């Protein structure tokens, strides 16, 4: 059985190849049971996420993830995990992969895949909200599909974390800065990507620029939230899977406030991959250019596709 640590997962899943692998996986489909979610002590969460395909050479994958919001105070990542890949026909274990790196990279790649359909082709200014592991990957991921992005800002609750992340991006040759004023940074951005564990709205719909694309990554339980209801009222909304309608606090709370209704949902990431719905910035009924919103809660098909890319190599 092969073992891929974080460095191997990173080296064998370059973002352009990973985005393409996810696109192919969403088109092909897979068996993805509803994930198991278990509450742990001290506000932590355990997630179990299986997925498999049938047929010759098919694989089965199961990811075990822990989410511990209090880890930031300990200087630890909030998410840890292990992914196990099996032969789907015989059940023979094939590989074990670092689940934390796999999760971070496939999460960023899924948002980039959505942005390849929903973000304006001429998008240049990116705002990242959050300074954790997934947030750190967003410029790499989004520039894989929108290479014109040449101005990057980051906002975090701890200004020193935003400064450190901006410095790391500058060391990679990117034009990056920490944004002290979140509202002003949102108003300036073409793409706003939120990757936090927030429990109360950070981004307000009134701040979104005409034609902006809002990417919400962090809210995967009913108690979590990164945006207010106005974001859902202003935007055309897509989700990674229909599970988001029942799990994501952003969606559930906006619906409870009367700012969103499930029948307004434009579609899922699989719909985008199979049909393609690029945004042209046409005026909305309200008179302004359409804003788009992508809400993800994560899906095991992404883990399976990413794991297979790592095991088989990007080619």
Write down the domain spans for the chain: 2-102+300-312, 110-295
In this prediction, residue 218 has a pLDDT band, given cuts at 50, 70 and 90, of: very high
Length of the chain: 315
What confidence score (pLDDT) does residue 289 get? 55
Q: What is the C-alpha to C-alpha distance for residues 150 and 154, in angstroms, rounded to an integer?
A: 13
Helix (H) or strand (E) holding 65: strand 59-67
Q: What is the C-alpha to C-alpha distance for residues 130 and 165, in angstroms, rounded to an integer?
A: 10
- Whole-model pTM? 0.91
State the average pLDDT over residues 234-251.
94
Q: What is the C-alpha to C-alpha distance for residues 198 and 218, in angstroms, rounded to an integer?
A: 7
CATH number among 3.30.70.790, 3.40.50.720, 3.30.70.580, 3.30.1780.10, domain 2-102+300-312: 3.30.1780.10
State the average pLDDT over residues 283-298.
70
Asked if residues 301 and 53 have their Cβ atoms less than 8 Å apart, the reply is: no
For residue 228, which phi and psi values (nearest 5 degrees)?
-90, 175
As beta bridge partners, residue 294 has 215, 238
For 110-295, CATH gives 3.40.50.720
State the average pLDDT over residues 108-135.
97
Report the candidate in 310, 298, 315, 299 with the shortest Cα–Cα distance to residue 85. 310
Q: In what order do the strands lie in the sheet with 93-98?
A: 2-4, 93-98, 79-87, 59-67, 45-52, 36-39
Report the candidate in 212, 210, 216, 226 with the shortest Cα–Cα distance to residue 294. 216
Q: To the nearest whole percent, how much of the chain has pLDDT over 90?
A: 83
pLDDT reading at 279 higher than 60? no
State the average pLDDT over residues 211-228.
94
What confidence score (pLDDT) does residue 276 get? 77
């Amino acid at each position: 059985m092969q073992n891929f640590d974080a460095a191997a997962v990173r080296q064998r899943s370059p973002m352009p190849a990973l985005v393409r692998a996810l696109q192919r996986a969403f088109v092909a489909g897979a068996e993805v049971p509803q994930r198991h979610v278990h509450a742990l002590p001290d506000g932590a969460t355990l997630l179990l996420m299986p997925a498999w395909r049938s047929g010759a050479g098919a694989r089965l994958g199961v990811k075990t993830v822990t989410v511990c919001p209090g880890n930031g105070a300990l200087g630890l990542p909030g998410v840890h995990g292990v992914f196990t890949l099996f032969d789907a026909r015989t059940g023979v274990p094939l590989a074990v992969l670092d689940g934390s790196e796999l999760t971070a990279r496939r999460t960023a790649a899924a948002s980039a895949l959505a942005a390849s359909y929903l973000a304006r082709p001429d998008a240049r200014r990116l705002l990242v909200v959050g300074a954790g592991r997934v947030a750190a990957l967003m410029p790499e991921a989004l520039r894989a599909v929108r290479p014109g992005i040449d101005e990057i800002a980051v906002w975090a609750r701890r200004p020193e974390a935003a400064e450190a992340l901006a410095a790391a991006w500058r060391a990679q040759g990117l034009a990056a800065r920490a944004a002290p004023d979140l509202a002003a940074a949102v108003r300036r951005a073409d793409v706003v990507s939120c990757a936090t564990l927030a429990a109360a709205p950070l981004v307000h719909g009134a701040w979104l620029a005409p034609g902006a694309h809002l990417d919400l990554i962090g809210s995967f339980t009913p108690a979590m939230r990164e945006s207010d209801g106005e974001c859902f009222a202003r935007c055309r909304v897509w989700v990674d899977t229909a599970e988001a309608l029942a799990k994501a606090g952003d969606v559930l709370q906006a619906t409870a406030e009367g700012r969103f209704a499930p029948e307004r949902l434009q579609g899922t990431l699989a719909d985008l991959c199979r049909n393609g719905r690029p945004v042209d910035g046409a005026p909305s009924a309200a008179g302004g250019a359409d804003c788009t919103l992508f809400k993800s809660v994560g899906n095991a098909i992404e883990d399976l596709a990413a794991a297979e890319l790592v095991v088989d190599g990007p080619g």
